Structure 1
Amino acid sequence: MAEDSGITKSNFEFWLHKALEWGQITIPESQQDVCLHLPELQEFLLQIYGALKHTNCTGAVQKFPLIGQLLGRLCWNPFVVGHDECQKILMWCLCCLYSGEPQNPVELKANSWIQISLCHLLSLSGLGHHDGDIDNFITTLGLTSADYYVKLVENPQASCHPAIFGTTEEFFKNALLETDGALEVMTVMQVFTRCFLQAYQENNEQRKFPLKAYFPHNPHSLLRAFLRQPSDLPAAGLHQHLIHIAEMLKAIVKTNCMRSSSNLFDIWFLFIHFGEWADMAAEHLLVSEAESSDALLWLLVFYYDPNDENQQRSQTMLESRSLCEHLITLSRTPALSARDLLVAVNGELSRKQPATKELAVHLIISFLLFTANGHAIAREFITHFAVTYGEVSRISSLLSRIAHRVSQLEVKYQRTVKLANDLLQILKSVG
């Protein structure tokens, strides 16, 4: 036992015995005894945390062979975790045990257990108790879990340690895979990323982890490019930065797709975190006069279809370019009507393969929000389009995301923000 940490063998055994006892006696007795011992338990857990924060998982098990059993029982005791301070310290302890790069089966197994335990604690700190097995709860994550994700977004613990951030990342990966990249999941991911970065930047602790620790499997140059603030770039500089991101991604994808599909997924997964760059690409495709449409179009195609089949990507590019050119023509058409756009869109979408319809919807919404002709017909068009194509949920997610992004920009976007909010109200009435 680690005597130098102030934790004696008898002290550790006392609390392990208590944890076992609390799980076996009747609820009223257990609650009363836990409440009686909470101040002492909190002090003991702080000592445990002090001993764990300077070691790794294997070292912790060597110091405290039964640490997993103790923390596990405490994590699942409703009266212990109902105490905010104890719950927070338990979370700290679990983070210390988490292995960023597991070296053996013990650490792999420990990571799995820690992720489940952290999921449990995070859900209690943002939602109520979830009945049933936590494994079943995790496996049902998907579109119905949006509220859960939003609570994670609101939880400041997400920025305090890479282990907690990594746990949340696993949830998002599972949700993306199980929903085949649903736009709603992408949107919540991007909200989470914005909140995480804001909390990270406001965290002034001297021993703050570097951002690379939160994104260990991605090229640092690409991460730096995504982290640039669009508001800090002039209009021309923003367009060039979009081209820079597109060219960098294209080169990285070309290199990594030859290695493994998991590398490609990691790159795409990073891009999803910073989806505002895809929104800006769609906007610039429709309003920019620059000769760079291919690069921006490729960026959007990769965002919606990271599949490595070159022939399929070429077909997606061809179809998307056709729609983009059509929309640009319509943006310059005098006296454009909502019916004109609906007829044109119907003709274009009828030829689309299913995966690229999402990209088409993104371009259409960008047309409505960022061109004068689009503004004029948006309210009339949106009702028919959403109902005809059953796209209320997808369009609502896009509108919310774009409105949030442009609301933080120049005054000239105020009309766009108001239009987006008006369209959201219309969609609520038809949804």
Structure 2
Amino acid sequence: MAALPELQVSFWMDKAVTWGQATSPSIQLDAGRHLNSLRNFLQQLLQALQSMSSTTDAMKNLPFVGQFLGRLCWNPYVTADGECRRLLLQCVWRLYSADPHNAVERKANEWIQNLLCHLTSEEEGSVVYALKKHSGSIPQQYYSETFKKMVALLTEEVSRNHITSANSSERCSCDHLYAVSVACVPLVTCPLAAPLVGALLKRPVSCGCSHLSKEFIDAVSSAWLSKKLVMEDLAVIALWCQSLSSLERAILSLLESVLADQGSVIHSLETTVTDSLLPKASALHCHLSLVVNDVFRSVLMVMEENLAVRALIQVFTSCFLQIRTAQKPQFQENPPLRAFFPHVPHNLLTPLLTTPSDVPKEAWLKHLCWIWELIQEILCERNEGGEEEEEDEQGSQRRRRAVFETWFLLVQCGHWLDAAAELLVSVGSEESEPLLFLLTFYHHPTNRGHQNTQQNMVAREAWSHLRIFFLTHTLPPEKLSSVKELLSSTHSTNLVLHLLLNFAVFSRASTSSASEVIQKLQIEAGMRCKAAWMLSSVQHRLNRTDSLDARVHSRLKTLQDSLGPAHALNCA
């Protein structure tokens, strides 16, 4: 565009100097009379800045611009006018360099950050302070109204599509969005700034470069995790889409909240997981789901036997599947379900991701036998002969990966293990084989130095003894001692406890008989927390079942109460 007329530039520069901070009534009156003309000039200046390729280019062709904008931004009577303030802010954004190349641009960035912060500051020397001193207005009222107007204007500008220039010679709009994000860093915890923060996060990227500063992303992530910032769900999810490090912080925060105070989390795990928004984000964006599950894998490999971690993963997967099913009609372009589980043998997905509530109870055994057969095929897979040693090693790694992914999916779909444990209360010896195998593999995927056959023997021995206790209503001392020994074993505690609690909840024995068995087994304090997590897993599955058994729910509640208050459990 044509250069700004020299006389016009000189006139407005003189006015900016004369007005200063508008301390006298005559100057304030003069400023008020010229506001309309000033708006027109600022619009011309904005168009001139939009045609510049860089901040350096703008400073070279418009050497007056920095001093001119700075003086006007410090004038409370100019900035009180909504249109003038909008144009001033747009001009300032145009001078910000997302990637400064020299000292001039770095200095300009620093000046702009300070300028935007002082526009809403109440400190001595600021615009608000000057207004209070010279006009007697209430600073908090001015601050609040000015801040609301600034946020509204910025939010409108950020949300507009026309902010992206069609002229290839002009600077990318991401530079200006970047400038706004920098100015927002000290404001992210202010409730009034939430709409602007959300608009910045949800603004689609118009080119390959980042349009938000790292400082802004980090500040928003920290504020949201510490509950100092309230944003709509899609804004939070947009944050994670743009910053995987913020997503990882959110996942670790969820894990820490579950592990740090397990007693209080037990009965509210589903609420805790849902409130984290991670299941919803995973259901909407496949790549976020893959990141979440990768973190879960890493944690599970380190804390394989931690029941709180297992319960968290199971409830998370359940919430994820429920949200994805509910939202599927709205998101037809969502990838197929198998894309969310790329490492799992596909033939396992259907039987395991189908919930027990979607299968008639009389078909549970057949369904679990189907799962057992598929897992047996994976575990028994052998390399065919004739391969080179290097290929054998690669094949071995693939098989180990397949076994781990199979077990991880089993943890994610732990509701089927609860269903297997429930069936073991009533099935015969022959039907118990596949169910005991699944329970053993679930609790001992790496064997911990033991053989599978030994673990299966432990499971069968515990199951046999528990059948006697709960089905014949007798308590042979020698068998009771055997179960107590298995419960105290480092390597079989979780497996035996899982069986014991399901017998206590689902057997036909009287509640008093079940309590007597548990009392005589003398479950020590450290094990009570494990029991609480297992019972919460059972409760979660039952709560999602259409047909509720009042007797079972009553027994479950009695057992949970017998463990003591959640906050008093020793879950360390």
Smaller-chain TM-score bracket:
0.7 to 0.9
Question: Counterparts of 1:17-416 in structure 2 under 5 Å?
Answer: 17-23=179-185, 27=186, 30=187, 39=196, 45-49=201-205, 51=206, 63-67=207-211, 70=212, 72-78=214-220, 82=229, 84-85=231-232, 88-89=234-235, 91-92=237-238, 94-95=240-241, 114-120=243-249, 122=250, 143-144=259-260, 151-154=272-275, 155=277, 156-203=280-327, 204-205=329-330, 206-255=332-381, 258-260=396-398, 261-289=400-428, 291-307=430-446, 312-333=451-472, 335-336=473-474, 340=475, 344-350=479-485, 353-373=489-509, 375-383=511-519, 385=521, 387-388=523-524, 390-409=526-545, 413-416=549-552
CA distance in 1, matches of 2:513, 2:409: 35
**2:164 corresponds to which of 7, 17, 38:** 7
CA RMSD of aligned residues (A): 3.7
For the structure 1 residues 33 and 186, does the alpha-carbon distance in structure 2 shift closer, same or farther, using more than 3 Å as the test? closer
Per-residue deviation at 1:187? Answer: 1.4
For the structure 1 residues 215 and 6, does the alpha-carbon distance in structure 2 shift closer, same or farther, using more than 3 Å as the test? farther
Per-residue deviation at 1:211? Answer: 1.3
CA distance in 2, matches of 1:33, 1:276: 42
CA distance in 2, matches of 1:32, 1:226: 43
For the structure 1 residues 332 and 20, does the alpha-carbon distance in structure 2 shift closer, same or farther, using more than 3 Å as the test? closer
For the structure 1 residues 342 and 75, does the alpha-carbon distance in structure 2 shift closer, same or farther, using more than 3 Å as the test? farther
1:162 is aligned with what amino acid?
Answer: C
2:484 and 2:521 in contact (8 A); partners too:
no
- Which deviations, in whole Å up to 9, do the C-alpha atoms of 1:15-48 show, x marking residues without a partner? 223434555xxx4xx5699968965x75565442
2:188 and 2:194 in contact (8 A); partners too:
no
CA distance in 2, matches of 1:34, 1:250: 55
5+ unaligned residues in a row in structure 2: which ranges?
1-52, 54-160, 166-170, 383-394
- Which deviations, in whole Å up to 9, do the C-alpha atoms of 1:226-285 show, x marking residues without a partner? 122323434442111111111111212333893343332221111101111111212222
1:152 and 1:158 in contact (8 A); partners too:
no
CA distance in 2, matches of 1:119, 1:165: 11
1:142 and 1:179 in contact (8 A); partners too:
no
Per-residue deviation at 1:361? Answer: 0.7
1:332 and 1:373 in contact (8 A); partners too:
yes
For the structure 1 residues 150 and 265, does the alpha-carbon distance in structure 2 shift closer, same or farther, using more than 3 Å as the test? farther
1:422 is aligned with what amino acid?
Answer: T
For the structure 1 residues 407 and 380, does the alpha-carbon distance in structure 2 shift closer, same or farther, using more than 3 Å as the test? farther
Per-residue deviation at 1:365? Answer: 1.0
5+ unaligned residues in a row in structure 1: which ranges?
52-62, 98-113, 124-133
Per-residue deviation at 1:65? Answer: 3.3
1:286 and 1:328 in contact (8 A); partners too:
yes
For the structure 1 residues 398 and 374, does the alpha-carbon distance in structure 2 shift closer, same or farther, using more than 3 Å as the test? farther
CA distance in 2, matches of 1:14, 1:344: 75
- TM norm structure 1: 0.74
Q: Which has the larger radius of gyration?
A: 2
- TM norm structure 2: 0.57
Q: SS at the partner of 1:288?
A: coil
CA distance in 1, matches of 2:164, 2:204: 8
For the structure 1 residues 303 and 72, does the alpha-carbon distance in structure 2 shift closer, same or farther, using more than 3 Å as the test? same
Per-residue deviation at 1:359? Answer: 0.5
Q: Percent identity?
A: 22
1:326 is aligned with what amino acid?
Answer: H
Per-residue deviation at 1:342? Answer: 7.5
Q: SS at the partner of 2:428?
A: coil
For the structure 1 residues 382 and 65, does the alpha-carbon distance in structure 2 shift closer, same or farther, using more than 3 Å as the test? same
Q: Which residue is 1:427 aligned to?
A: 563
